[in-house]
Amino acid sequence: MNKSGAGKAIADKAKIEELLSRGVDTVYPTRDALRDVLMSGKRIRLYLGIDPTSPHLHLGHAENIIMLRKFQDLGHEVILLMGDFTGRIGDPTDKLAARTQLTDKQVKENLKTFKAQASKVLRFTGANAAQIKFNAKWLGKLTFEEVIKLASHFTVQQMLERDMFQKRLNFTYTCPKCGKEQIYAHATPRTDGGIRSVEHGSGLTKSRVCTNCGAHNTFEAINNAILVKKNANESEGIRAPRPIGLHEFFYPLMQGYDSVAMDVDLEVGGTDQTFNMLAGRTLLKAMKGKEKFVITNRLLEDPTTGKKMSKTEGTLVNLDDEPNDMFGKIMALPDELIPHILELSTMIPIERVTELTSKLKKGENPRDIKLIASEEVVALYHSPKLAKEAREEWVRVFSHKEKPEDAPKLKLKTHTLSLIDLVLAAGIPSKSEARRLVEQNAVKINDAVKKDSGEMITLKPRDIIRIGKHRFFEIA
């Protein structure tokens, strides 16, 4: 039985207005409808689902967890749902190839520290404690007949309309300006890795408009960008259509059924989860005659590229990173990302966020704003004391040009290796990025700049590796 209406929640107008606006992209069915429910004082049940595809929660999760905390503070019933079943299927959202399916053992291993990481923001003890649930409890019990009934509420056309499936059905290329993958309909591959337009055989075709950055890319520019990347071994050139696994269509059904099983009033998540969350709205209405609200929050993206923070981009900040490491990672982020970090990943008052963003736009040194943002993030996910110490250490190292007192230890399989392999071992995601850093004189060993990516290096314990401005490692 749904007890979400039991008791009363706090109907604080200012706090509710911030909940419905800070970082929020869209509210379904409408913002006004949800506002009316919250202002009535009704206690609702809401949830955020997270699949354990990695052992780490990160700043991309933080915005939604912070939203749960704010609902919790107002007295609402909050659930953090662990996708121990859906994590084994693999969410196809934003994926240009089917995810590798995780084993039950891998899922359980990844889940071990999720509660501890989420507890940096949510309260799991005391009054109105947040709940942890696991969707294998109900999804693992569904019969084949029940799954077919769930599937009857959706069409193949609805599934195929999704952007990542469209990209897998067509030839795609990378936008030369922003780097986002784009569909090139009516194309065939050339033998050199470029593309040939079927609709304009001469190659003199109208430009393609990037759906991400709005750039008008000519046929010639697209081909040139493809071939440059291909020749640098950074790309396979034009990407041919890729398979879509039938099991991937079941993911939104499974996530949608979570809403039915928990009988929720609201689900929160990123804009990339809109389809999946609306699937839950469809099923809850069809199976229980109940409306469900959905809040989609803006993604933590680099506004200059439109790319999410990720390990591949070198911008991933995990909630369980050590304080000094977390502080340094945020200081290394693009300046343009800092206002988004302040708004989406901290709990500082929105007025303060607006003030700091305004200072940045007016030309104040981005470093000063980053110091504030970095300290706020570390204070929230660790403690104010550790945040202060991390700031002092960063200033000591990077302003006073000293070496870090506690650089992360880098364990190598061999202490004799090429410079490029050393950079890759330090966490740089690709050879092209590693070469770029070497070419920019951004790699140092014991303060000596290294310029040849193929140079064989022999290291000894306690040697200090510096990559870029903010990454230090000590050889273990």
Q: What band does 476 get if pLDDT is binned at 50, 70 and 90?
A: confident
The pLDDT of residue 311 is 62
The pLDDT of residue 229 is 52
List, in order, residues 6 or more apart from 376 with CB less than 8 Å away.
342, 346, 348, 387
- Residue-wise pLDDT for 294-308, tens only, equals 999 999 887 777 777
From the centroid of its chain, how far is CA 400?
Answer: 34
Task: Find the helix packing angle between 274-288 and 250-262, rounded to 10°.
Answer: 50
Q: Is the pLDDT of residue 236 over 50?
A: no
Give me the sign of the Cα torsion angle 138, 144, 150, 151. Answer: positive
Mean pLDDT of 361-373: 92
Q: What band does 70 get if pLDDT is binned at 50, 70 and 90?
A: very high
The pLDDT of residue 228 is 54
The pLDDT of residue 301 is 85
CATH architecture entry for 307-398: Orthogonal Bundle (1.10)
Do 276 and 302 contact (CB within 8 A), yes or no?
A: no
Q: Is the pLDDT of residue 204 over 50?
A: no
CATH 3.60.9.10 fits 409-475, yes or no: no
Q: Where in the chain is the domain with CATH 3.10.290.10?
A: 409-475
- The Cα 142–Cα 9 span in angstroms is 34
Q: Which of 384, 405, 385 is nearest to 394 (CA)?
A: 405
- Residue-wise pLDDT for 241-256, tens only, equals 778 788 888 889 999 9
Percent of the chain with pLDDT over 90: 46
- Residue-wise pLDDT for 93-102, tens only, equals 555 555 566 7
The pLDDT of residue 193 is 57
Q: What's the one-letter identity of residue 132? A: I
Do 381 and 394 contact (CB within 8 A), yes or no?
A: no
Q: What is the dihedral of CA 304, 307, 309, 312, to 10 degrees?
A: -120
Mean pLDDT of 13-26: 96
- Residue-wise pLDDT for 155-175, tens only, equals 988 888 877 777 777 777 777
Q: Where in the chain is the domain with CATH 3.40.50.620?
A: 13-154+247-299
The pLDDT of residue 187 is 65
Mean pLDDT of 41-51: 96
Q: What band does 429 get if pLDDT is binned at 50, 70 and 90?
A: confident
Q: What angle do CA 457, 460, 466 make, to 5 degrees?
A: 65
Q: What is the value of pTM for the model shown?
A: 0.76
Q: Where in the chain is the domain with CATH 1.10.240.10?
A: 307-398
- Residue-wise pLDDT for 73-88, tens only, equals 999 999 999 999 988 7
- The Cα 74–Cα 18 span in angstroms is 12
Across 59-63, 319-323, 412-416, least confident range: 412-416
Phi-psi region of 90 (alpha: psi -120 to 50; beta: other; left: phi over 0): left
Higher-scoring residue by pLDDT: 310, 143 = 143
Q: What's the one-letter identity of residue 454? A: G
What integer best gives the mean pLDDT of the chain?
84
Do 342 and 61 contact (CB within 8 A), yes or no?
A: no
Q: Which of 369, 367, 373, 374 is nearest to 326 (CA)?
A: 374
The pLDDT of residue 194 is 60
Q: Which of 293, 275, 60, 295 is nearest to 164 (CA)?
A: 275
Do 326 and 298 contact (CB within 8 A), yes or no?
A: no
The pLDDT of residue 232 is 45
Higher-scoring residue by pLDDT: 402, 317 = 317
Mean pLDDT of 273-283: 94
**Topology, domain 13-154+247-299:** Rossmann fold (3.40.50)
- The Cα 470–Cα 326 span in angstroms is 11
